[in-house]
């Protein structure tokens, strides 16, 4: 066994051992432990747990890769996935914590006094969370297949087994403490290679500053200027100004991700675990600090990865790398099929340019950039092993949080709340675990079939949450007269129109060739791409709800009093006291 | 009751201030005005690009803590703190 493989096994299995041990010691004993960790998590702990819960395979593995190839256009992910916390901290979290229930649909049921609203909320939640989980499974599959050198399919099976053990056993309590450990693993795994690379390229160990510094080669040229020059020479668009589908599309995309972030139930649920309203506000702040540690490093990782990749292939102008002399990481990633070379002009050298007719790097999967980055920069093997463990921590912690959101909404909201109110606590806990197991199997299956499904899913999950859950919650808090029927109509039309737009583009359930209403040009609605459409869906949701509420009249008096009550922090109890 | 209403109005005012800043740094500086700001540079960063990939995130963090601190004061002022 070579050194890299040994280190990888130690890092991956060592970290797994820690997670299992934590899950065992903090295992859930009651439904309150299982859903909200007994309501006794401190804001800093909760902030870290939210950080790990939030930062998924998409943040850890995909985002810097996207930025590397999109340049300035990648900013939508940076702003979108952080700006949502401002909305959460001010518009949702404190009031929902004050109301003090276990789940998001339960809040919607109380506020909109309607079982229909609760069922619709559960449906929206399951659709959004399940699409998101599939993306995580893909991340786990990629990471396992590369570092343990197993098939992608097997990588997913291993991932399913690991999540099952600690999520089903630990519940929210186990998951929270495991996520704190996972946050530490993933943040070290992300920043250590970034510090090394920043130091190599610019001499500045802080990546956030390194990105704005001059190159260490003594030329005095700024890194970003050099990168702009190099990519435009190859025919790509300028790195620092490359726009993603126009300003309006970037605007809508950012807005979708922001309100989607604030509407994702697995994140909102975390605010039910803190002891007070004050702690809920502070949690959002700490969460964003821990998230920002990774998110402000990501642009540096992206830009430097692009820079190093080009420099490896084209060490100096006109002197392209001989294919036979390609480095080891190049060969390793070729094996996974995520990196492909095709010698089009037969000269044995690698051509890497924007023009697809001449370009010989026929496939450079964006998802490999973060994982391959340390190897491209010739960093020591233990750093590469650490990145593997970090990627898995990110994917697994998010998958666990999502599974909890799904299982609580089914066992607590549908079974106990709607169909079988006399369910005992012990049976509910059991039901929660059974639902979690089924969700893992469904998510694993959808991670494999249909093959194109996983790729399109993560951004879609945000669009769905943005267009359904966020508007209903916000109106429930800020408009005390909003009626139940209006909220239901709003949610259904918001998520409905978003799904229509996406499926019309990409096929029903992403199966190519099944797109109905064919013949429309892509992004026909004001050039807005399907992934950015959640913002439009949310506007539709708000508009429909306001129009319908004019017809139905205001919510009953006791509901309005309830809203007035959760707007002020006084007399807040623990979630499990209700 | 009147007490709670003025508490809520002051809260709404704070939220409005915060969300205005939130909008200006991200959608304003990072997207709509990016070309104009890119003329200005801080080190190797064009200013608009810096807001889109760094500055907006730092501002978001600051905003949440500022809002939390203001709300804690407001809770005391209107005597609506949790017991």
Cross-chain CB nearest to A285 (options B19, B49, B61): B61
Tokens of A345: 């002009």
Q: Which residues of chain B are within 8 Å of residue A277 when distances are taken between CB atoms?
A: 82
User: With contact defined as beta carbons under 8 Å apart, do A66 and A77 qualify?
Assistant: yes
pLDDT at A513: 52
Q: Do A212 and B65 touch (CB under 8 A)?
A: no
Top mean-pLDDT range of A116-130, A328-342, B49-63: B49-63
A457-493: pLDDT as tens digits: 677 788 888 998 999 999 999 998 999 899 999 999 9
User: With contact defined as beta carbons under 8 Å apart, do A377 and A196 qualify?
Assistant: yes
Q: How many CA atoms lie within 13 A of A174 on its CB side?
A: 25
> Is A248 in CB contact (< 8 Å) with chain B?
no
pTM, to two decimals = 0.89
C-alpha distance across the termini of chain B, in Å:
19
Q: Which residues lie below 8 Å from residue A509, measured CB to CB, with a gap of 6+?
A: A450, A453, A503
Nearest chain B residue to A571 by CA distance is: B82
Q: Do A83 and B26 touch (CB under 8 A)?
A: yes
- ipTM of the complex in this document: 0.96
Tokens of A104: 């998001």
Of A296, A319, A556, A115, nearest to B58 by C-alpha is: A296
Q: Which residues of chain B are within 8 Å of residue A254 when distances are taken between CB atoms?
A: 26-27, 31
Task: Please give the full DSSP string across A301-329, using - where no structure is assigned.
Answer: HHHHHHHHHHHHH-SBTTBPPBGGG--HH
pLDDT at B72: 93
Q: Which residues of chain A are within 8 Å of residue B75 when distances are taken between CB atoms?
A: 278, 569
A484-518: pLDDT as tens digits: 899 999 999 998 988 888 777 766 555 555 545 45
Test mutation, A88, A94, A194, A212, chain B, max B CBs within 10 A: A212
pLDDT at A435: 86
A25: confidence class by pLDDT, cuts 50, 70, 90: confident
A193: confidence class by pLDDT, cuts 50, 70, 90: very high
A141-168: pLDDT as tens digits: 777 777 777 777 888 888 888 888 777 7
> Is A257 in CB contact (< 8 Å) with chain B?
no
> Is A254 in CB contact (< 8 Å) with chain B?
yes
**Residue with more model confidence, A560 or A39:** A560
User: With contact defined as beta carbons under 8 Å apart, do A32 and A171 qualify?
Assistant: no
Q: How far apart are CA A127 and CA A23, in angstroms?
A: 27
pLDDT at B40: 92
A37: confidence class by pLDDT, cuts 50, 70, 90: low
pLDDT at A39: 62
Q: Which residues lie below 8 Å from residue A15, measured CB to CB, with a gap of 6+?
A: A181, A182, A185, A389, A392, A393
User: With contact defined as beta carbons under 8 Å apart, do A228 and A507 qualify?
Assistant: no
Contacts A–B by Cβ distance under 8 A: 137
Q: Do B49 and A281 touch (CB under 8 A)?
A: no
Q: Do A288 and B8 touch (CB under 8 A)?
A: no
Neighbours of B74 (CB within 10 A): 18
Query: How distant, in Å, are the alpha carbons of A130, A475, A502, A540, B27 from that of A70?
Result: 27, 35, 22, 29, 18
Mean per-residue pLDDT, A45-68 = 85
Q: Do A90 and B18 touch (CB under 8 A)?
A: yes
């Amino acid at each position: 066994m070579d050194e890299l493989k040994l280190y990888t096994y130690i890092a991956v299995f060592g970290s797994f051992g820690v997670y299992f041990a934590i899950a065992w010691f903090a295992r859930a004993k009651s439904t309150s432990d299982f859903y909200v960790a007994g309501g006794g998590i401190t804001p800093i702990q909760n902030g870290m747990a939210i950080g790990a819960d939030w930062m998924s395979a998409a943040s850890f593995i995909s985002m810097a890769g996207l930025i590397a190839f999109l340049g300035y256009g990648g900013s939508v992910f940076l702003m979108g996935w952080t700006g949502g916390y401002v909305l959460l901290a001010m518009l949702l979290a404190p009031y929902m914590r004050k109301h003090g229930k276990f789940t998001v649909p339960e809040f919607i049921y109380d506020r909109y006094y309607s079982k229909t609203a609760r069922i619709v909320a559960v449906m929206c939640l399951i659709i959004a969370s399940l699409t998101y989980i599939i993306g995580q499974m893909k991340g786990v599959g990629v990471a396992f297949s590369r570092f343990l050198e197993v098939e992608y399919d097997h990588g997913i099976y291993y991932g399913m087994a690991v999540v099952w053990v600690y999520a089903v056993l630990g519940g929210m309590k186990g998951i929270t403490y495991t996520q704190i450990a996972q946050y530490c693993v993933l943040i070290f795994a992300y920043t250590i290679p970034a510090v090394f690379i920043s130091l190599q390229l610019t001499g500045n160990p802080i990546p956030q500053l390194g990105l704005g510094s001059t190159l260490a080669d003594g030329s005095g040229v700024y890194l970003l200027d050099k990168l702009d020059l190099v990519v435009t020479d190859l025919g790509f668009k300028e790195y620092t100004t490359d726009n993603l589908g126009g300003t309006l599309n970037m605007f809508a995309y950012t807005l979708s991700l922001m309100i989607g972030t604030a509407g994702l139930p697995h994140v909102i649920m975390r605010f039910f675990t803190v002891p007070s309203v004050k702690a809920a506000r502070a949690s959002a702040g700490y969460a964003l600090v821990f998230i920002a540690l990774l998110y402000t490093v990501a642009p540096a990782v992206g830009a430097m990865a692009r820079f190093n990749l080009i420099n490896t292939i084209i060490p100096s102008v006109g002197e392209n790398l001989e294919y036979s002399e390609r480095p080891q990481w190049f060969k390793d990633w070729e094996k996974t099929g995520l990196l492909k070379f095709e010698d089009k002009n037969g000269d044995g050298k690698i051509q890497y340019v924007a023009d697809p007719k001449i370009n010989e790097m026929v496939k450079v999967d964006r998802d490999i950039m973060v994982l391959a980055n340390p190897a491209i920069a010739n960093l020591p093997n233990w750093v590469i092993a650490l990145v593997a463990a970090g990627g898995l921590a990110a994917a697994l912690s998010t998958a666990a949080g999502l599974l909890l959101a799904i299982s609580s909404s089914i066992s607590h909201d549908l079974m106990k709340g709607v169909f079988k109110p006399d369910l005992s606590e012990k049976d509910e806990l059991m039901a929660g675990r059974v639902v979690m197991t089924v969700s893992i199997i469904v998510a694993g299956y959808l991670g494999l079939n249909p093959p194109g499904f996983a790729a399109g899913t993560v951004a879609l999950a945000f669009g769905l949450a943005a267009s359904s859950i966020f508007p209903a919650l916000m109106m429930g808090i800020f408009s005390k007269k909003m009626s139940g029927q209006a909220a239901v109509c709003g949610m259904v039309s918001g998520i409905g129109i978003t799904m229509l737009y996406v499926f019309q583009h990409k096929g029903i359930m992403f199966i190519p060739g099944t797109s109905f209403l064919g013949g429309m040009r892509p992004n026909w609605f004001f050039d807005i791409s399907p992934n950015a459409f959640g913002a439009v869906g949310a506007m539709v949701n708000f508009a429909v709800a306001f129009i319908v509420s004019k017809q139905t009249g205001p919510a009953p008096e006791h509901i309005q009093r309830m809203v007035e009550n959760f707007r002020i922090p006084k007399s807040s109890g623990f979630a499990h006291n209700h | 009751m009147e007490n709670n209403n003025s508490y809520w109005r002051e809260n709404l005012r704070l939220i409005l201030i915060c969300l205005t800043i939130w909008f200006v740094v991200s959608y304003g500086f990072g997207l709509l005005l990016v070309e104009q700001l890119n003329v200005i540079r801080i080190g190797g960063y064009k200013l608009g690009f810096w807001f889109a990939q760094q500055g907006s995130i730092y501002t978001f963090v600051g905003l949440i803590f500022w809002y939390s601190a203001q709300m804690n004061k407001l809770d005391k002022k209107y005597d609506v703190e949790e017991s």
